Amino acid sequence: MCGRYVSVSSPTILAERFHVEEVRAKPADPNYNVTPRAEVPVVADSRGRRVLDVVRWGLVPSWAKDQSIGDRMINARAERIQTSNAFKRAFERRRCIVPADGFYEWQPIEGRKQKQPWFIRRRDCEPLAFAGLWEIWHDRSLGDDAPRIRSCTIITTEPNEVMRPIHDRMPVILPESAWDTWLDAENRNVESLARLLVPLPSEELELWPVTTLVNKPAENGPELLERAPVDSQ
């Protein structure tokens, strides 16, 4: 899964990196410990224009009774995305890229109660392009004038070789060659889109162990990315 990540690149950097034509909302301050329910930047298509916007992490399907379901929808498994009632419509119509400067994953260590956190990023230090889905939800009990809430989820897949010793899942990281296809809102060929949901080659990633301070959502700073010995507590 992907339950925490890093989002520190400026809107200017993200707009340039992802060839954005319109910045609709300024992303929040640099966040070294992005947690579910956070407002996060996403890149999506809007009537043929590539836009950078901010949405809530934790997808809330349009049919949901309340927002709380989003807490269980921060990730979508690639293998089930075409059959899940929560994700299949968004997969067909509302795909996005969730930019990230890296992500955390936790490795079980024999003889220890606490898992060891690792930080993973691209070797070239460019922002990652997580494959994501987005949705719009409103509280129907409040009528049509209720505020619209935009939310997203990050798609996960099986791990590549570098990730396999740490966890049995990893986020889908799209290569630049796949961005146009993924973001094309007119593309409804779900079979070909599903073929994009594969692990990024191991040689494109680097990782190192970090302090267990990242376990605390309140901790948020560049010190979370500092290398730490695997046996640190």
AA identity, residue 158: E
Q: How many domains does the chain have?
A: 1
Q: In this structure, is residue 106 part of a structural domain? A: yes
Q: In this structure, is residue 230 part of a structural domain? A: no
| DSSP assignment of 144-184 | TTSPPEEEEEEEEE---TTTTTT-S-EE-B--GGGHHHHH-
pLDDT of residue 104: 98
pLDDT digits (tens, 9 = 90+) for 192-216: 999 999 999 999 999 999 999 999 9
pLDDT of residue 192: 96
Q: In this structure, is residue 233 part of a structural domain? A: no
pLDDT of residue 25: 79
125 is catalytic: no
Helix, strand, coil percent content, the chain, rounded in steps of 5: 20, 35, 45
**Are 230 and 209 within 8 A, CB to CB?**
yes
Q: In this structure, is residue 232 part of a structural domain? A: no
pLDDT of residue 231: 61
Q: Is 10 helix (H, G, I), strand (E, B) or coil?
A: coil
pLDDT of residue 27: 66
* Given 39, 92, 96, 105, the catalytic residue: 105
Nearest to 23 by CA among 131, 75, 99: 99
pLDDT digits (tens, 9 = 90+) for 4-13: 999 999 999 9
Residue whose entry in the numeric block shows the structure tokens 């929560």: 86
105 is catalytic: yes
Question: What pTM was estimated for this model as a whole?
Answer: 0.95
Q: In this structure, is residue 231 part of a structural domain? A: no
Give every CB contact of residue 157 below 8 A, 6+ residues apart in sequence: 77, 78, 79, 169, 170, 171, 172, 197, 198, 199
Q: In the chain, which residues have pLDDT < 70?
A: 27, 231-233
The domain that holds 90 is classified in CATH as: 3.90.1680.10
Q: In this structure, is residue 210 part of a structural domain? A: yes
pLDDT of residue 111: 81
pLDDT of residue 233: 44
Q: In this structure, is residue 161 part of a structural domain? A: yes
AA identity, residue 117: P
Per the structure, the complete domain to which residue 108 belongs is given by 5-225
* Given 2, 96, 135, 152, the catalytic residue: 2
Give every CB contact of residue 141 below 8 A, 6+ residues apart in sequence: none
First to last CA, the chain: 23
Nearest-angstrom CA–CA distance, 222 and 99: 18
Q: In this structure, is residue 34 part of a structural domain? A: yes
Counting every residue written for the chain, the total comes to: 233
